[in-house]
Amino acid sequence: MAYELRHMGKAFPGKIIVNGEHAVVHGHPALLATFGKTVTAEARIAGDNIVFSDHTFGIKSFQPGILKAGDEVLLEQHEYALPLMLVREFFRYCGLADRGLKITAVSDIPIGGFGSSTAYAAAVLSALSEEFAKELSDQERIDLLTRAETAFHGRVSGADQALIIRGGMIRYQNKDSGPVFTPVSAATLLQDVIVINTGRPEDATGTVVAWVGKRLQERPHETTEIFTRLGQITDEMISDLQQKHTDSMQSHVAEAGELLIKLGIVRPEAQELIRKLAKLGAAVKITGAGALQGRASGALLCLSDDYGPVERFLQKQGVEYYRTALGVS
């Protein structure tokens, strides 16, 4: 059922949350940057079914009628739920009848904390737009992605969607008047970082977001204090980047990491890794939703003046990592 590609569309990057995880969902600012791994997709009008094909999840076929099913039915499709919801939103928005499609994707974005699902959906949306000759503005793309991911995850901030469509690095804050995006110039302090992959979390992003929301209701004072400080750190980090204050930036990364551990979304194994890397002079924090169970916590962001000891340690432990730049469009 695999098919030959005619043309792969625009490449969409993964993302790293430099700071502001979970706090951004509740109105506080976050700093996000693109990450040097990408996904591309192609869509073709073909056949009677909607067929997805990619190297990660293989080939899966659905009857177009599934798009008329409720969110509960689509959520049962697991890794295919979000792209199905995206196709549904695109068809509705463009006034198109449900029909057969063949969609393929090629990605090297790791799963878990790297924005892979949003980047995949953005690539599929771009491919659909091209195949159906429907031009969409950046804001229309962001809105469609946010609608699909809200149905998939529950509550989303819109930050990932804005970053992956716009690229680079942004300060994002969801205010009562609407989302505010402020571009942040790619800073030299983030042109050489290590991103560590602790593995795919067992919990879906929406599950962790909902748990943190419940924590806010049950422990409002403590949780609000964490969110408020994370929001302050976001703006302090931006100042660090603009003024090239390396020591302060690393200090803020380490502080944010401790706050997220306190929030309860970092698994013990990742906490231990963070502690060991700190002894080697590195500042490390989780980036992404985190996890509530299992051993994996997703991605970690690591900054250091000397990556030699860090890399030797990670290699010795067999931990997957990437030496990369953040915020490059």
Residues 183 and 173: their CA atoms lie apart, in Å, by 12
Q: How confident is the model at residue 2 (pLDDT cuts 50, 70, 90)?
A: very low
Residues 85 and 79: their CA atoms lie apart, in Å, by 11
If you average pLDDT over residues 184-210, what whole number do you get?
89
If you average pLDDT over residues 45-57, what whole number do you get?
84
If you average pLDDT over residues 86-115, what whole number do you get?
90
- The answer to whether residue 50 sits within a structural domain is yes
Residues 139-155 have pLDDT tens digits of 999 999 999 988 887 76
* 217 and 176, same domain (yes or no): no
* 286 and 212, same domain (yes or no): yes
Q: How confident is the model at residue 45 (pLDDT cuts 50, 70, 90)?
A: very high
- The answer to whether residue 2 sits within a structural domain is no
pLDDT at 60 exceeding the cut of 50? yes
Q: Which residues contact 2 (CB under 8 A, 6 or more apart)?
A: 53, 59
* 105 and 35, same domain (yes or no): yes
Residues 253 and 121: their CA atoms lie apart, in Å, by 29
Residues 235 and 140: their CA atoms lie apart, in Å, by 28
Place of tokens 């949003």: 118
pTM of the model: 0.81
CATH code of 108's domain: 3.30.230.10
* 91 and 132, same domain (yes or no): yes
- The answer to whether residue 266 sits within a structural domain is yes
* pLDDT of amino acid 56: 65
* 197 and 74, same domain (yes or no): no
* 24 and 37, same domain (yes or no): yes
% of residues, the chain, pLDDT over 70: 95
Q: Name which residue leads in pLDDT, 80 or 29.
A: 29
* 145 and 239, same domain (yes or no): no
CATH code of 306's domain: 3.30.70.890
* 108 and 192, same domain (yes or no): no
- What is the DSSP track for 280-303? TT-EEEEESS--SSSS---EEEEE
**Residues pairing with 45 in the sheet:** 101
Q: Which two tokens stand for residue 104?
A: 């393929």
- Residue ending a domain, among 162, 183, 204, is 183
pLDDT at 277 exceeding the cut of 50? yes
Domain range enclosing 33: 12-183
Looking at the structure of the chain, the number of domains it has is 2
- The answer to whether residue 56 sits within a structural domain is yes
Mean pLDDT of the chain: 91
* 173 and 28, same domain (yes or no): yes
Q: How confident is the model at residue 267 (pLDDT cuts 50, 70, 90)?
A: very high
For residue 206, give the nearest of 159, 158, 156, 165 by alpha carbon. 156
* 172 and 206, same domain (yes or no): no
Q: How confident is the model at residue 158 (pLDDT cuts 50, 70, 90)?
A: confident
Whether residue 42 contacts residue 126, with contact meaning beta carbons closer than 8 Å, is answered with no
Q: How many CB atoms lie within 10 A of CB 250?
A: 20
**Residues pairing with 102 in the sheet:** 44, 51
Whether residue 174 contacts residue 157, with contact meaning beta carbons closer than 8 Å, is answered with yes
* 125 and 163, same domain (yes or no): yes
- The answer to whether residue 173 sits within a structural domain is yes
Residues 159-185 have pLDDT tens digits of 788 889 988 999 999 888 888 889 998
* 318 and 231, same domain (yes or no): yes
- Residue ending a domain, among 131, 162, 183, is 183
